[in-house]
Amino acid sequence: MNIREKIKKYPILGWMYCFSVNSFYSIKRIRFKRLRRLFRYKSLVKYLSTRKSTLSYRYGVDTEGYIVPEKLDIKSVHVKHAIQYQKCNESLLTRLLDMDNLSCQDKVFIDLGSGKGLALMLASRKPFARIIGVEFSEKLHVIAKKNITKFNHHCHDIQCRSVHATFGDAAEFSIPDEPVIIFMCNPFGEKVMQLVVGNIETRIRRSPNPLTVIYMIPRQKHVLDACTSLQNISESFFCDEKDSAIAHFFSIWKRFPPDNEPNPHPFSRA
């Protein structure tokens, strides 16, 4: 009796056979492809060289780690919409901040869901007018303040010394009337994002000054796309070929109608 006949006669043998074969090839695939790729000489060199350029390595700040919401000491009513803490890709954010078409001069940089303050520290090396971080985890907020103090003491290329880590809920944060750049790195779920977009709309109706939204890892992109007060400019923003490699990780919006133009239907929705 061959294997096919045995499988037909004894179904349990078929299940065991499939399980064994699938397990074997899964382990083989991991062992000989993924692990080999991970430990290739070039990969190790790239990792080590990138690691040495991080703020945590150069200045001793604490930005690493993965922390689930249950361990973040969150007391906000929006705790169920919280996302785990995970450091954003430092090299990608650095490349974005270095782009020529991102104007920092005289603008306020706001990080909603600022975590341990990585984006705040990176932004402080640009000529922003001031920098604000909003974080509703007290545990992360305390770490961020310590990081900023240590970074300010050791870093010698800081261009903006007005950096404020704020303990508060992004859903309740009032966006200032000055020209602003709002940054988010997948900080919360759809419900909170809807409230944040509502605050953005309020700010646009209240002030004619420029407003830009930078959303990294844009899981709730559809919420911002549905806002008639914002225009998605990602395609034109990353039009340069050298910047196209990072375009997949970001979505960019600016206020609509353009700055200083009245909105004929300020309360209209798509």
Q: Give 189-224 pLDDT, tens digit per residue.
A: 999 999 999 999 999 999 999 999 999 999 999 999
* 268 pLDDT above the threshold of 50: no
CB 213, CB 230: distance < 8 Å: yes
CB contact set of 161 (below 8 Å; sequence gap of 6+):
124, 152
User: Amino acid identity, residue 41?
Assistant: Y
User: How confident is the model at residue 38, as a pLDDT?
Assistant: 58
Peptide bond into 257 cis (omega under 30): yes
Question: CB-based burial of residue 192 (10 Å sphere; 0-12 exposed, 13-18 middle, 19+ buried)?
Answer: buried
User: How confident is the model at residue 81, as a pLDDT?
Assistant: 77
* 172 pLDDT above the threshold of 70: yes
Q: How confident is the model at residue 269 (pLDDT cuts 50, 70, 90)?
A: very low
Q: What is the CA radius of gyration of the chain?
A: 23
Q: How confident is the model at residue 267 (pLDDT cuts 50, 70, 90)?
A: very low
Share of the chain above pLDDT 70, in %: 76
Q: How confident is the model at residue 245 (pLDDT cuts 50, 70, 90)?
A: confident
Task: Please state, in angstroms and rounded to a whole number, the distance separating the CA atoms of residues 238 and 265.
Answer: 29
Mean pLDDT value across residues 35-51: 56
User: Amino acid identity, residue 10?
Assistant: Y
User: How confident is the model at residue 117, as a pLDDT?
Assistant: 97
Task: Please state, in angstroms and rounded to a whole number, the distance separating the CA atoms of residues 223 and 216.
Answer: 14
* 127 pLDDT above the threshold of 70: yes
Task: Please state, in angstroms and rounded to a whole number, the distance separating the CA atoms of residues 34 and 26.
Answer: 11
* 15 pLDDT above the threshold of 70: no
User: How confident is the model at residue 243, as a pLDDT?
Assistant: 85
CB 123, CB 131: distance < 8 Å: yes
Q: Could you give the C-alpha distances from 32 to 29, 41, 46, 218, in angstroms and in order?
A: 6, 15, 20, 33
Task: Please state, in angstroms and rounded to a whole number, the distance separating the CA atoms of residues 37 and 31.
Answer: 10
Please report which helix (H) or strand (E) contains residue 165, including its range. strand 163-167
- Whole-structure pTM value: 0.77
Strand ranges of the sheet holding 163-167, from the earlier edge strand across to the other edge: 163-167, 130-135, 108-112, 180-185, 211-216, 250-255, 230-232
DSSP string, 4-59: HHHHHH-HHHHHHHHHHHHHHHHHHHIIIIIHHHHTSHHHHHHHHHHHHTSHHHHH
Nearest to residue 90, comparing CAs of 117, 109, 108?
117
* 242 pLDDT above the threshold of 90: no
